[in-house]
A and B are shown apart, each in its own frame.
Chain A
């Protein structure tokens, strides 16, 4: 199975909102679509889902044009949407029916996901003695619980391709962990996921391949590990009980950030870092922490998007 996005183009009038976007997902896992607000992430996802007409390019699923109505695609939209006045169970059954899921299977899945996402009491409100159980409506739920029901809707058809637009935004830490565990489960089940997010640590946690969009154009693409490797291990974190400012100055290292006890430094290469460490040890400076690592995705993102902003 594979998803190929080839040369997607979308214009609104004269404004190009997605320009020549191409990427490919050839193995199960999470593909990340990153970008600033208005970079074209949601528009790209909508084009992939066939909701928006596009001015060029194509989207192929297993070599054929992707038809989300026929293919089984799960989608969690950035702007959460449920019918505010209708019962949650009715809505979920409706969404399942639209995806051609038989009612019995749909009920089993709704029960499973309600338990898993801890929204059982809302989807299946308990019966009060002597009274008819009152169905819960979406407008009676908290934002987080609405998001859980929305995720249930996205997964109810057990889709092979899942598109998650900002899935963790607005969630508390407990529910963030819950969502993350579900994403991990989906990866383990060999699902293909496309995820857009502003939360870089989350992307680093799940995604093997990324595309960074800026003003509709891909400014960086590829395997995350390889991208990081290409930058080299130039981030040095040093923690000491004594002041090492004079040594940093002596080696001509750039200070990226400084806290009372720790320096985040930029080195030219790994050898410079090793020389710096040898100097500190030679001078009998007590080193509590010495960590040399690749740049974080956050740093790469800021650098790439910042570069383009400066160029413009």
Chain B
């Protein structure tokens, strides 16, 4: 690729970027995203506070009537709960008429509950009766039932005369493991490389963001290339700049526009999070920090940040170039989405490989498939950034992945440089993959 082939790309870039930022579609979508980002944290906070109140606040149940119908118990099950939110509850045996108590709970004692304990062949059942109004919610009964179940298990064992030591012996868990020995017969200690649920969701979140940027940027790039062709501006542009310069300028401009949009969203989320933590959260919880996996900040360092930015940008350039190529294969704006079929397939294939690898990473840790996904240029931009920040990728592997991605991007650019001049003036039916290869051979 000669330097003169890309002379003028900066002019194309600045014009395309400014016009995109000035366009009504961009402004409207940006405003919508900003509003959603700003309200996201307060809404999330309200939902979480509501949940935490129902789960962690004092349980409104004041009294529990135990209707113990188990033969061997003789109505002796009267538990004492030690949990902070349940310790206030009074338990007493149901001695009055059952229907009378039910009516009383329904009409007056809304905060009382009846527990019917029954026994069939090999099953015990704890049935809870509560007032139909919402003084006591199902979630409160659920909390109580979990505690009562535990207490009832203990009661059963005590009734059988099993000592504490015997109980520990019965309840001790049994695990299996395979140890690999080296040549000297020493056990090889393998490190647990699996990730936690929250780490998985963190990787998934970053993967989804990269996918979103790719999808948004690609459709805009393809539309931009097709609109130049359909509006016939291209012929004029080609007297001043080379086709490759036009493509590079457009791709980078659209990527910059989408990245600016995402950066704006990110800043709005940070502001919203900060305000929400100070104003809306009763205990000043930081919504974002609480959502991130523990220890994530240990892996955020300058090397990881640089490698992460490099892999994400290279991935975006790769997919954006593919989208530009797809856009050049058609001549009419209404065909732009059709042209992206192959592109979408490749993009999703890369994302799904990344998702699959993240799943495998959670289930069984690093293995051949995960390493492949981290190195494979289609999937690495999706998987590598998240995996790097949860500390599951070494610097060496990251650099190798980036090198492979650079090679892939250069090869794609060489191919694009060969076919783009022919494609850009093409008018007529969509050019397929076979014809593209044919063009690249003939040029």
Interface string of B235-261 (1 = CB under 8 A from A): 111111110000000000000000000
B240 & A85 in contact (Cβ 8 Å cutoff): no
Interface string of B408-443 (1 = CB under 8 A from A): 000000000000011001000000000000000001
Contacts of A23 in B (CB 8 A): none
Give Cα A51–Cα B236 distance, bound, in whole angstroms.
10
Contacts of B443 in A (CB 8 A): 53
Check: B15 CB closer than 8 A to any chain A CB: yes
B225 to chain A, nearest CB (A): 13
Given contacts A53-B422, A84-B231, are A75 and B23 in contact (CB under 8 A)? no
Q: Of A74, A81, A90, A95, which is within 8 A of B231 by CB?
A: A81
B421 & A53 in contact (Cβ 8 Å cutoff): yes
Check: B55 CB closer than 8 A to any chain A CB: no
Task: Output the nearest chain B residue to A95 by Cβ-Cβ distance.
Answer: B236
A46 & B23 in contact (Cβ 8 Å cutoff): no
Give Cα A154–Cα B239 distance, bound, in whole angstroms.
10
B232 & A97 in contact (Cβ 8 Å cutoff): no
Given contacts A53-B443, A69-B8, A86-B19, are A81 and B425 in contact (CB under 8 A)? no
Contacts of B23 in A (CB 8 A): 85
A112 to chain B, nearest CB (A): 20
B231 & A83 in contact (Cβ 8 Å cutoff): yes
Check: A61 CB closer than 8 A to any chain B CB: no
Q: Of B12, B233, B240, which is within 8 A of A82 by CB?
A: B233
A98 & B11 in contact (Cβ 8 Å cutoff): yes
Question: What's the tally of chain B residues with a CB closer than 8 Å to chain A?
Answer: 26
B238 to chain A, nearest CB (A): 5
Given contacts A46-B425, A53-B443, are A83 and B239 in contact (CB under 8 A)? no
Contacts of A79 in B (CB 8 A): 232, 235
A49 & B238 in contact (Cβ 8 Å cutoff): yes
Give Cα A294–Cα B443 distance, bound, in whole angstroms.
47
A98 & B231 in contact (Cβ 8 Å cutoff): no
Give Cα A74–Cα B234 distance, bound, in whole angstroms.
14
A48 to chain B, nearest CB (A): 11
Contacts of B238 in A (CB 8 A): 49-51, 68
Contacts of A73 in B (CB 8 A): 239
Contacts of A150 in B (CB 8 A): 236
Interface string of A149-160 (1 = CB under 8 A from B): 010011000000
Check: A308 CB closer than 8 A to any chain B CB: no
Contacts of A85 in B (CB 8 A): 23
Contacts of A143 in B (CB 8 A): none
A69 & B7 in contact (Cβ 8 Å cutoff): yes
Contacts of A81 in B (CB 8 A): 231-236
A68 & B239 in contact (Cβ 8 Å cutoff): yes
A142 to chain B, nearest CB (A): 16
A77 & B232 in contact (Cβ 8 Å cutoff): yes
Task: Output the nearest chain A residue to B15 by Cβ-Cβ distance.
Answer: A94
Check: B4 CB closer than 8 A to any chain A CB: yes
Interface residues in A56-84 (C-beta closer than 8 Å to B): 68-70, 73-75, 77, 79-84
Task: Output the nearest chain A residue to B12 by Cβ-Cβ distance.
Answer: A98
Task: Output the nearest chain B residue to A76 by Cβ-Cβ distance.
Answer: B236
A69 & B236 in contact (Cβ 8 Å cutoff): no
Give Cα A276–Cα B422 distance, bound, in whole angstroms.
61
B422 & A153 in contact (Cβ 8 Å cutoff): no
Interface residues in A226-270 (C-beta closer than 8 Å to B): none
Give Cα A311–Cα B241 distance, bound, in whole angstroms.
42
A94 & B7 in contact (Cβ 8 Å cutoff): no
Check: A99 CB closer than 8 A to any chain B CB: yes
Give Cα A70–Cα B8 distance, bound, in whole angstroms.
11
Question: What's the tally of chain A residues with a CB closer than 8 Å to chain B?
Answer: 30
Give Cα A165–Cα B7 distance, bound, in whole angstroms.
26
Contacts of B236 in A (CB 8 A): 75, 77, 81, 95, 150, 153-154
B438 to chain A, nearest CB (A): 11
A98 & B241 in contact (Cβ 8 Å cutoff): yes
Interface residues in A104-153 (C-beta closer than 8 Å to B): 150, 153
Check: A52 CB closer than 8 A to any chain B CB: yes
Give Cα A51–Cα B239 distance, bound, in whole angstroms.
7
Give Cα A150–Cα B242 distance, bound, in whole angstroms.
20
Give Cα A20–Cα B48 distance, bound, in whole angstroms.
78
Q: Of B15, B18, B235, which is within 8 A of A77 by CB?
A: B235
Which of B232, B234, B421, B422 lies at the interface centre, i.e. has the most chain A CB atoms within 10 A of its CB?
Answer: B232
Interface residues in B15-49 (C-beta closer than 8 Å to A): 15, 18-19, 23
Given contacts A46-B425, A53-B421, are A98 and B237 in contact (CB under 8 A)? yes
A242 to chain B, nearest CB (A): 57
Given contacts A51-B425, A52-B425, A95-B240, are A75 and B235 in contact (CB under 8 A)? yes
A99 & B232 in contact (Cβ 8 Å cutoff): no
Contacts of A69 in B (CB 8 A): 4, 7-8, 239-242
B8 & A98 in contact (Cβ 8 Å cutoff): yes
B239 & A80 in contact (Cβ 8 Å cutoff): no
Contacts of B234 in A (CB 8 A): 81
B231 & A82 in contact (Cβ 8 Å cutoff): yes
Give Cα A75–Cα B236 distance, bound, in whole angstroms.
7
B115 to chain A, nearest CB (A): 70
Contacts of A153 in B (CB 8 A): 236
Give Cα A84–Cα B227 distance, bound, in whole angstroms.
9
Contacts of B7 in A (CB 8 A): 69
B11 & A94 in contact (Cβ 8 Å cutoff): yes
Contacts of A46 in B (CB 8 A): 235, 425
Contacts of B19 in A (CB 8 A): 83, 86, 90
Q: Of A53, A77, A83, A99, which is within 8 A of B240 by CB?
A: A99
Give Cα A82–Cα B230 distance, bound, in whole angstroms.
10
A97 & B242 in contact (Cβ 8 Å cutoff): no
A133 to chain B, nearest CB (A): 15
Give Cα A85–Cα B227 distance, bound, in whole angstroms.
10
Contacts of A75 in B (CB 8 A): 235-236, 239
Q: Hey, which bits of chain A sit against chain B, CB under 8 A?
A: 46, 49-53, 68-70, 73-75, 77, 79-86, 90, 94-95, 97-99, 150, 153-154
Provide a sorted-by-A list of 29 A–B residue pairs whose CB atoms are within 8 angstroms: A46-B235, A49-B239, A51-B238, A53-B422, A53-B443, A68-B238, A69-B4, A69-B8, A69-B240, A69-B242, A74-B239, A75-B235, A75-B236, A75-B239, A77-B236, A79-B232, A81-B235, A82-B233, A83-B227, A86-B19, A90-B15, A90-B19, A94-B11, A97-B11, A98-B12, A98-B240, A98-B241, A150-B236, A153-B236
By Cβ-Cβ distance, the 6 closest A-B pairs, closest first, are A81-B232, A98-B240, A81-B233, A77-B235, A79-B232, A94-B15
